[in-house]
């Protein structure tokens, strides 16, 4: 049934309350609410500027728990910005994959199935915002980078996913895209 596959290069969590930047761990445990301890964990979250149909701040179903980027698309953003690299940590990614073409264009509703049966649902493109741009500007100490990040990352910034089946995702896992 698998249309294609990819490899999990690394898994990461945002456990530090003051930043969305993630750090690598050997595996991530996936619950219905996301990754326990991660910044985006929760069954509910406050509506923000992306959900204009709800008043800002009211609690709505959280379907943006897991952020995934691809190694190839991060390289492409770096090329566009003339930088040696864009680390997925700086984008707040939880999973970095390789070997899958055009991850960011994956359609809403696609299923990502991991070796132990863990299942994620693609909820669509993670629209670029200025936060990671500010991190990158600070790291490279190059004024104006934060503004350049948003257009450079368009259609390359990866996807957000919600959880369909709980389990564990580890470095080296193969993902089947269904």
- Extract the tokens encoding 123: 């909820």
**CB closer to its own copies out of 30 and 152:** 30
Least distance from C-beta 102 to its own copies, angstroms? 20
CA dihedral 37, 75, 63, 22 (to 10 degrees): 10
Strand partners, 29: 168
**Rounded to whole angstroms, how far apart are CA atoms 89 and 25?**
12
x/- letters, 21..60, toward its own copies (CB under 8 A)? -----------x----------xx--x----xxxx--xxx
Tell me how long the chain is. 178
Q: Return the residue of 72, 119, 142, 168 that touches its own copies, per CB under 8 A.
A: 119
Least distance from C-beta 19 to its own copies, angstroms? 28
State how far Cα 21 lies from the chain centre. Answer: 11
Chain positions contacting its own copies, by CB under 8 A: 1, 32, 43-44, 47, 52-55, 58-61, 108-109, 111, 113, 117, 119, 121, 162-166, 178
């Amino acid at each position: 049934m698998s249309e294609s596959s990819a490899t999990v290069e690394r898994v990461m969590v945002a456990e530090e309350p003051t930043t969305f930047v993630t750090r690598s761990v050997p595996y991530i445990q996936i619950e219905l609410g996301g990754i326990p301890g991660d910044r985006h964990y929760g069954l509910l979250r406050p509506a923000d500027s992306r959900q204009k149909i709800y008043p800002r701040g009211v609690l709505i179903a959280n379907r943006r728990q897991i952020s995934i980027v691809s190694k190839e698309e991060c390289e492409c953003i770096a090329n566009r910005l003339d930088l040696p690299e864009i680390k997925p940590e700086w984008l707040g990614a939880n999973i970095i994959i390789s070997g899958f073409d055009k991850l960011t264009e994956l359609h809403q509703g696609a299923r990502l199935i991991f070796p132990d049966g863990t299942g994620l649902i693609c909820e669509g493109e993670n629209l670029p915002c200025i936060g990671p741009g500010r991190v990158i500007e600070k790291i490279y100490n190059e004024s104006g980078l934060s503004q350049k990040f948003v257009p450079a990352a368009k259609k390359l910034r990866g996807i957000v996913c919600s959880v369909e089946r709980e389990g564990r995702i580890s470095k080296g896992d193969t993902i089947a895209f269904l």
